Amino acid sequence: MKLSQMFENAPEIEIAGLCIDSRCAKANDMYFCMEGMVHDGHEFIDDVIEKGVKCIVHSKPVDDMKKGVAYIQVENVNRTLNRVASMFYGHPSRRMKVFGVTGTNGKSTITSIIRDVYSHFAPCGYIGTISISYGEVTLPPSLTTPDAVLIHKTMKDMVEHGMQAVALEVSSHGLELGRVQSVDFDVAVFSNLTYDHLDFHGTIEHYFEAKKKLFTNLKKEGVAVLNADDAYVDQLADATEASVVTYGIDNHATYQAENIRIEKTGSRFTLVHGTERYEVSTNLVALYNIYNLLGAVAAMAESGIPIEQQLPYLNDIRQIEGRMERIDEGQLFNVIVDFAHTPDGMEKVFEYAKDITEDGHSIIAVFGSAGKRDTKKRRVFGEIASRYCDSIILTEDDPRDEDPREIANEIKSGISDTNNIFIADRYAAIRQAIESANVKDTVLILGKGDEVFMYREFGREPWMGDHNVARHCIRKYSLGLEDDEK
């Protein structure tokens, strides 16, 4: 695309790509000088010019301007990046139905349900924590909400692959850092807001203000789908000019679940919408997943997929690895892997474990807490686990440059009388839990879900994944099988 098509009075320079990371700059790119929390993109202008970049978009004065390079000074580089990225890739979000989902917990599950069910009616992609997926393409995730360049490039690729919709996880970081300013959302879903990311936002009020941006910026023609049982529902409803519908269990809602029956392998409930009542059967378990399912069903219904047409597909929703994932290798006890890494998320998993664990049998939990992240929740983790568990095994969980033992000691400060030990190596901790489980006990492996990496002092290192470790340990140590014997 010509630079003159993106900026008035700009020279007729052909731009081959957009770049915000100087390390990835290529010949004929346009480089945006983004100011981050650690680095300022203005510091790398000379570096990217040496790589052949033809245009620099900057907000600070540039003293040494090189010949043959266009310099465009703007007031807000990020806002300009969003506008240009959407234009450069052909405004792809305007060519698809775009579902945006935000909230502390449930984003991955709601977006995954939407992608799974909506795809029975029209091709639908997914962008989020788990992966970037569309059609037969599955790519590793970048961030929960990628930067504006990657979002629009990915959506362009999706359009070219025939996608008619996309379900996008929208994190508070992504909203606060302006990564989705130019995404044309049609439906915005709010799951819940609880204690998380205060290391970044500072206060729960600032955290909420970040989440609210998705609804403040939602177009009038859009639909806001809000959790009626969350304390922030009224504030979000007041903040948007879009149409508002709600979903919930306890409070009156546009889409409401009644007569809920939760079992080990699935759930059933009555969905009430207006004067209609629908009997829902799903393979999802746990009360919080009823909320997630309601949010997804409401979002799709509001986008034109009638509830009665969705019903046949709700009983066979694809298992989301690492999200309330039941690991069943034929063992005589329950093993569940979940991404829960917030106090509210952990408590919901513990509540479900209590429901499925018979009296006289034990709940064994394996978890830690991420290094260089919100330290205040560590003691809270201990307090919550202590209320539900019979045995706690503390271990590493993305320690970065912190000592996992010190993190565990902070968690231990909240544990009262529950038996607990610290095992630094996460594989060994999971093995200990599996080997100590008796018939009808429940083992919970929390914090990392399906992630196959571990953040350590010098970056990401490969990790088997909790779900894979659990399967391996059950086969080898509980069933006495080699991995290929099952």
CA-based angle 93:99:103, to the nearest 5?
A: 125
Question: What pLDDT sits at residue 486?
Answer: 42
If asked whether residues 226 and 354 sit together in one domain, one would say no
| CA atoms of 148 and 178, how far apart (whole Å) | 8
Is position 107 annotated in a ligand binding site? yes
If asked whether residues 175 and 300 sit together in one domain, one would say yes
**Considering only 37-46, 227-236, 249-258, which range has the smallest mean pLDDT?**
37-46
For 415-445, write each residue's pLDDT tens digit: 999 999 999 999 999 999 999 999 999 999 9
If asked whether residues 62 and 76 sit together in one domain, one would say yes
Is position 104 annotated in a ligand binding site? yes
Which residues is 270 bridged to in the sheet? 258, 279
| CA atoms of 433 and 364, how far apart (whole Å) | 7
* Domain-located, residue 398: yes
If asked whether residues 425 and 450 sit together in one domain, one would say yes
If asked whether residues 418 and 305 sit together in one domain, one would say no
* Domain-located, residue 12: yes
Domain end: 313, 337, 362, which one?
313
| CA atoms of 174 and 8, how far apart (whole Å) | 29
Is position 289 annotated in a ligand binding site? no
Nearest CA among 235, 226, 227 for reference residue 204: 235
Contact 430, 418 (CB under 8 A): no
Three-state DSSP class for residue 344: helix
If asked whether residues 95 and 8 sit together in one domain, one would say no
Long-range contacts: 225-229, Cβ < 8 Å, 24+? 225/187, 225/188, 225/189, 225/190, 225/295, 225/298, 225/299, 225/302, 226/189, 226/190, 227/103, 227/190, 227/191, 227/192, 227/291, 227/295, 228/252, 228/253, 228/254, 228/256, 229/253, 229/291
Question: What pLDDT sits at residue 379?
Answer: 96
Question: What pLDDT sits at residue 263?
Answer: 87
For 136-167, write each residue's pLDDT tens digit: 999 987 766 678 999 999 999 999 999 999 99
If asked whether residues 52 and 119 sit together in one domain, one would say no
Share of residues in the chain with pLDDT > 70 (%): 97
* Domain-located, residue 358: yes
* Domain-located, residue 417: yes
More confident residue, 232 or 373: 232
Helices (H) and strands (E) counted in the chain, each on its own, are 16, 23
More confident residue, 67 or 176: 67
| CA atoms of 242 and 250, how far apart (whole Å) | 24
CATH of the domain at 59: 3.40.1390.10
| CA atoms of 3 and 54, how far apart (whole Å) | 10
* Domain-located, residue 75: yes
If asked whether residues 216 and 108 sit together in one domain, one would say yes
Domain end: 291, 313, 335, which one?
313
Domain count, the chain: 3
If asked whether residues 362 and 408 sit together in one domain, one would say yes
| CA atoms of 200 and 44, how far apart (whole Å) | 25
Ordered DSSP codes for 378-440: HHHHHHHHHHH-SEEEE--SS-BTS-HHHHHHHHHTT--SSEEEE-SSHHHHHHHHHHHPPTT
| Other CB atoms within 10 A of residue 258 CB | 10
Q: How many CA atoms lie within 13 A of 222 on its CB side?
A: 25
Domain end: 251, 286, 313, which one?
313
Share of residues in the chain with pLDDT > 90 (%): 83
In sequence order, what are the residues at sequence separation of 6 or more whose Cβ sits closer than 8 angstroms to the Cβ of residue 339? 108, 129, 322, 323, 345, 446, 447, 448, 449, 450, 451
If asked whether residues 169 and 275 sit together in one domain, one would say yes
Is position 418 annotated in a ligand binding site? no
Is position 447 annotated in a ligand binding site? no
Is position 274 annotated in a ligand binding site? no
More confident residue, 128 or 38: 128
Q: How many CA atoms lie within 13 A of 23 on its CB side?
A: 1
- The helix, strand and coil proportions of the chain, stated in percent and rounded to the nearest 5, come to 35, 25, 40
Is position 145 annotated in a ligand binding site? yes
Range of the domain at 401: 325-479
If asked whether residues 224 and 336 sit together in one domain, one would say no
* Domain-located, residue 383: yes
Mean pLDDT of the chain: 93
For 452-476, write each residue's pLDDT tens digit: 999 999 999 999 999 999 999 999 9
Is position 109 annotated in a ligand binding site? yes
CATH of the domain at 357: 3.90.190.20
CATH of the domain at 183: 3.40.1190.10
pTM of the model: 0.85
